[in-house]
Chain A
Amino acid sequence: MPTITFEGKDYACREGESVLECLERHGVLLPSSCRAGACKTCMVRALAGTPPKEAQQGLKDTLVVQNYFLACIAKPTEDLTIGLAKEGELYRAQVLEKRMLAPNILRLRLEKPDGFRYWAGQFINLVREEDGLVRSYSLASLPEEPFLELHIKRIPHGRMTGWLFADVQEGDALAFRGPAGDSFYVQHDPEQPLLLAGTGTGLAPLYGIARAALAQGHTGPIHLFHGSLVREGLYYVEELRALAAQHAQFHYYPVVLQGTPPEGGLVGDMKSLPVERLGDLTGYRAYLCGDPELVEALRRAVFLAGVGMNDIYTDPFVFAPA
């Protein structure tokens, strides 16, 4: 009978028993609710071993490839080491380049440490080692590129951003943990239309996801909406236009709320504009990143326009209130 390893201890599983039941019989209580594979409260991750396929049914592709599964309906067929969440390893990497992309947006490129693996669109947690301050930043680079690219928006009185803008220099070493995050491209159906939408540095993960999809041969339409309050806040306009010129299936829409958009761009509210523009979104997969309020509004809008709940991937840049 298979053995379940959890937090360094081994638990023997009985015939026909689920992972959840096995742990409970040994006095280890995982959070759980419906116990029917519906509510997802008991989701855990297999750190070693392959979870039973039926225990991954109904989970997002990006969770499936990371070996997440539902403990309540998992009848293990082999030994499993499981964990609730994995605190990533600590890496140190040199700052290769520091450059402004827009008046308040900084691009940092870090050397990619050996052995660091990720999916484009995931994020890392930067650690300021002198005081342990931690903040998340999304990866705009592709895993095959030799550097990690971050886009960082200046926040008034921001502790991490203030330090990154003012003090960190090219050649310095930065510490980080990761990768983490469930919003990335997994090829499921190369013809599925994709909607990518975000404002400000919400472009960082989207830039990675769009290029990863194209690199993996995605043939369905990819619509990328990048919004900003005003024209000056949009960046990578030329890069994205070039990408659209190279790939007929890639469509780029720079959007401003006020003033004049760049040529070929749109004026409007990012909360509603992508849906107004594309109409019925049945069959789409959506990636929504950046400002948390925008992400929630878009989540609702694209769901009501027809995107399935399991096809909505989000990366809200949640921040701690003052």
Chain B
Amino acid sequence: MSTLYERLGGQQAIDVAVDKFYRRVLSDPYINRFFEGVDMEKQAAKQKAFLTMAFGGPNNYTGKDMREGHKRLVHEMGLNDSHFDHILCHLRSTLAELGVDEATIAEAVAIAESTRDDVLDR
């Protein structure tokens, strides 16, 4: 059985998805303050790393990296479950826009969901 990452189309599919996903995130007034002042181009590369991860693709991020990467957002800017839920929502909408079926979307969302406690530093 191929991985979700392969079924979605690998690196090329991620390139397409990342712009759509990031555009949704930056247009969402509920969460875009977290992305103020961060270098957009570098951040786009990180979004790509995020999606690669959510698709179960090759990555070397550990739970500790997720914790470290978002600590500042949790403790200085108040990142919480409601923001996390918005991100999952954008992930769903992006994949649906790309024509991915519901069962596959559920799989990707489940992978992202599994990082919740690390991202929110609990």
Contact = CB atoms under 8 A, between A and B. Distances in A.
Contacts of A39: 45-46, 48-49
Most buried by B among A40, A303, A309, A312: A309
A304 B49 CA distance: 20
Query: Which of the four size classes fits the interface of chain B?
Result: 20 to 34
B14 A303 contact: no
Contacts of B27: 304
A37 B44 CA distance: 13
Contacts of B46: 39
Nearest to A34: B49
Nearest to A40: B45
A112 interface: no
Interface in B17-35: 18-19, 22-23, 26-27
B49 A58 contact: no
A41 B46 CA distance: 10
A298 to B, nearest CB: 11
Nearest to A35: B60
A29 to B, nearest CB: 14
A34 B61 contact: yes
A57 interface: yes
A40 B47 CA distance: 12
A308 interface: yes
A35 B58 contact: yes
A316 B55 CA distance: 34
B2 interface: no
Interface string B56-99: 01111100000000000000000000000000000000000000
A57 B58 CA distance: 16
B88 to A, nearest CB: 20
22 contacts: A35-B58, A35-B59, A36-B49, A36-B52, A36-B58, A36-B60, A38-B14, A38-B45, A38-B59, A39-B45, A39-B46, A39-B48, A39-B49, A40-B45, A57-B12, A58-B48, A303-B26, A303-B40, A304-B26, A309-B44, A310-B15, A312-B41
